[in-house]
Amino acid sequence: MKDYENDRRHWIKFESLQNFRVKGGGTIDGSGQIWWQNSCKVNTRLVSYNFINCNNIIVSNLKFRNSQKMHVSFDKCVDVKVVRLFVAAPENSPNTDGIHVTATQNIQISRCVIKTGDDCISIVSGSRNVKATDITCGPGHGISIGSLGAGNSGAQVSDVVVNRAILTGTSNGVRIKTWQGGSGYARNIQFQNIAMNNVTNPIIIDQNYCDRDEPCHEQASAVRVSNVMYKNIKGTSASKVAINLECSKSVRCHEIVMQDVSLASQRPEYVEASCVSVDLTRRGIVTPLCSPN
């Protein structure tokens, strides 16, 4: 209890460790239901499983349920393997990200099943060389890079590969989200071999992200998004706009490539693509198509 009184952000924490493995077949249940009723901006909630400043670690064969906030977080870690995690929380549980990666380098996430109320996987500033393979996601907010650049801050994310994923019923598919007014970059990113099943916003870049009650004012600077590949992404969209690339008006998105992308409506209607302030190259068959911008 004394440790909890000193640190009310972390429930189970591994800090400054190296060359170790956490594995098992049991379930870690955060019993977060009572916490979800209160805003995390008012009442501090716990991240269930935290790895901070750890090197050369393997986390495997664990089940997580109903975390008060994020389920598993890696912060300032190097050389990480995450294998066969199962994460489950209700679709309406707030801020219950499945796997959160911040300021971490050389992390491989594979064969994970994530059902939650926020991002299945979230990758934020300081992260480099992140690989997510064979991911099953849904419900949830999809697989996200960001948010980046909040409060006019700098952000750096690079060398991210998401390969072989199935997303079902999520509120976003593969997403890059940045605030106006930030700086830095999100670059060298690949989303490939992904199946979308009734997904809202299957492909989205949102450089006007604003998670506030009051409107966010337009600003001149932005995180620079470049060298992003979307390849072999197919399935159905729950929203009319299946491809939404809303880049910064002041800092255009560069070197965005779509190859063999086919998204249709879940309902009997056409879907659309909206592309703003983006330099886009198409290869193979891409539907729907963006208008020139």
Catalytic entry in 10, 100, 141, 254:
141
- Residue 141 a catalytic site member: yes
Sheet holding 72-75, edge to edge: 10-15, 47-52, 72-75, 99-102, 121-123, 143-148, 174-178, 203-206, 241-246, 272-276
The neighbour count for residue 21, using CB atoms within 10 Å, is 10
The neighbour count for residue 268, using CB atoms within 10 Å, is 6
**CA within 13 Å, CB half, 171:** 10
Q: Using alpha carbons only, how large is the chain's radius of gyration in Å?
A: 19
Separation of alpha carbons 283 and 208, rounded Å: 27
Separation of alpha carbons 135 and 191, rounded Å: 12
Is residue 192 within 8 A of residue 232, CB to CB? The reply is: yes
What are residue 33's phi and psi, to 5 degrees? -55, -45
Is residue 209 within 8 A of residue 177, CB to CB? The reply is: yes
Separation of alpha carbons 284 and 79, rounded Å: 36
Is residue 14 within 8 A of residue 54, CB to CB? The reply is: yes
Structure tokens at 121: 């996987």
**CA within 13 Å, CB half, 136:** 10
Structure tokens at 41: 């901006």
Catalytic residue positions, numbered: 141
